């Protein structure tokens, strides 16, 4: 059996929306009032969600949403995707000096917008990528799809030698805004914001010298066989025929169970033997002897130096911090990302990694755990090891604000 080729993360870039797209919380509520489609109860509910969400006043919404009244269209949705994807890719190509025609593999993930031609074709056309490129477009896979895209690129890099793979993780919220009154479907309006990231991977041995990280593990968990898990994040029409995404009351419990299953698989790969023994002893006692003992939560702080937890919302971060028994410093990047950029779906874990770098905390041999949770329901983990003391790349997403974060308002 041939040895697996190392997969290097050469560099990545996160899109930083221009300031004219910022949506301060109070302004967002005023625009909801002017839209004319929400009842007073729906507006008040969104106001409460925003106040508790952990989002700040510099998160961004698409161009169309700044119009009164907003008029979403296919053209404006394409415009949003172009701005985000091309913005991130331009920065990536500039920072790495890689020519677009050198790219052999392209993987794009976006849950809610799947036009024809595809988003991957949009990129091929824009950058005139070569005709034999292996391109893939992943849709409908939720906020955890960024790790799925990395996993797919990793597998392809085992087959195709001496090449580069670009992963673009983004979301499009132009056509997903909900204009009805159902409270469970109003929450996504309040937390999802514009964002995206472009990641350059390679199996070229020569790239090890300048690469930031090496991919160590990817562990994927899919709980879709369970009906409650399958429907806890669900796109549907409400009673009035308005389309949106509903979040069920089982969401946090489902996320916790998906995380538990994921760490059960990941633990033996990364934890010290002492932690593995404690974990599996309590698990066996509970399963076979019906012992009334609390499941032992392994101390993942012994395995990882940095944590990039999906910035799905304040409650989601709180739950993972509690379940994994982390300290405030371990979730600082997630809370700061939620505050500054909002929930950018699958790209949030890359904004968090960029935050850690911008703070100057990433040292050679540090291990990073990216945890992504999303519809399906899925929990996916990616583990990276830093190949050097990592400095932030030029024109990074945090350049304009890193010195004032986290700050007392990031909680």
Q: Say if residues 390 and 368 touch (Cβ distance below 8 Å).
A: no
186-204 burial: b if 16+ Cβ within 10 Å, else e: bbbbbbbbbbbbbbbbbbb
Which of 109, 189, 310, 330 is an active site residue? 310
DSSP state at residue 319? H
| Catalytic residue status for 409 | no
Among residues 164, 165, 196, 171, which one has the least CA distance to residue 87? 196
Among residues 407, 386, 241, 253, which one has the least CA distance to residue 340? 407
Which of 32, 109, 306, 330 is an active site residue? 306
User: What is the helix (H) or strand (E) element at residue 166, kind and residue range?
Assistant: strand 164-170
| Catalytic residue status for 217 | no
Which of 262, 339, 379, 380 is an active site residue? 339
Helix (H, G, I), strand (E, B) or coil at 143: helix
Which of 189, 222, 262, 308 is an active site residue? 222
| Catalytic residue status for 308 | no
| Catalytic residue status for 32 | no
Burial of 152 (0-12, 13-18, 19+ CB in 10 A): buried
Which of 143, 190, 223, 232 is an active site residue? 143
Q: How far apart are CA 345 and CA 142, in angstroms?
A: 7
Active site amino acids: 143, 222, 306, 310, 339, 343
């Amino acid at each position: 059996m041939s040895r697996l080729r190392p997969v290097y993360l050469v560099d990545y870039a996160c899109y930083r929306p221009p300031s004219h797209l910022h949506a301060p919380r109070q302004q967002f509520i005023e625009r909801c009032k002017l839209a004319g489609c929400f009842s007073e109860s729906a507006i008040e509910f969104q106001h409460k969600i925003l106040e508790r969400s952990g989002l700040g006043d510099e998160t961004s919404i698409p161009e169309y949403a700044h119009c009164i009244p907003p008029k979403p269209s296919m053209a404006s949705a394409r415009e949003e995707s172009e701005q985000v994807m091309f913005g991130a890719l331009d920065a990536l190509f500039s920072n790495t000096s890689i020519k677009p025609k050198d790219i052999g593999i392209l993987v794009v993930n976006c849950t809610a917008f799947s036009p024809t031609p595809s988003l991957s074709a949009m990129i091929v056309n824009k950058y005139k990528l070569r005709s034999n490129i292996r391109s893939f477009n992943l849709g409908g896979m939720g906020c955890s799809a960024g790790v799925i895209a990395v996993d797919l690129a990793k597998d392809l890099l085992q087959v195709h030698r001496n090449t580069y793979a670009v992963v673009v993780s983004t979301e499009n919220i132009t056509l997903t805004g909900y204009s009805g009154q159902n409270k469970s479907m109003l929450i996504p309006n309040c937390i999802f914001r514009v964002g995206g990231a472009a990641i350059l991977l390679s199996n070229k041995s020569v790239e090890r010298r300048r690469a930031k990280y090496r991919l160590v593990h990817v562990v994927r968990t899919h709980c879709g066989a369970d009906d409650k898990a399958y429907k806890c994040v669900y796109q549907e029409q409400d009673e009035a025929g308005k389309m949106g995404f509903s979040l069920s009351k089982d969401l946090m419990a489902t996320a916790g169970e998906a995380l538990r299953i994921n760490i059960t698989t990941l633990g033996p790969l990364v934890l010290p033997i002492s932690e593995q023994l404690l974990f599996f002893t309590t698990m066996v006692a509970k399963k076979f002897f019906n012992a009334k003992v609390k499941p032992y939560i392994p101390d993942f702080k012994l395995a990882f130096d940095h944590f990039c937890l999906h910035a799905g919302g304040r409650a989601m971060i709180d739950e993972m911090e509690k379940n994994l028994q982390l300290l405030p410093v371990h979730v600082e990047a997630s809370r700061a990302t939620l505050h500054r950029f909002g929930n950018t779906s699958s790209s949030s874990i890359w904004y968090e990694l960029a935050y850690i770098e911008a703070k100057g905390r990433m040292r050679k041999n540090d291990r990073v755990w990216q945890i992504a949770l999303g519809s399906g329901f899925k929990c996916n983990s990616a583990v990276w090891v830093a190949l050097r003391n990592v400095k932030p790349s030029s024109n990074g997403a945090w350049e304009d604000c890193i010195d004032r974060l986290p700050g007392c308002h990031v909680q």
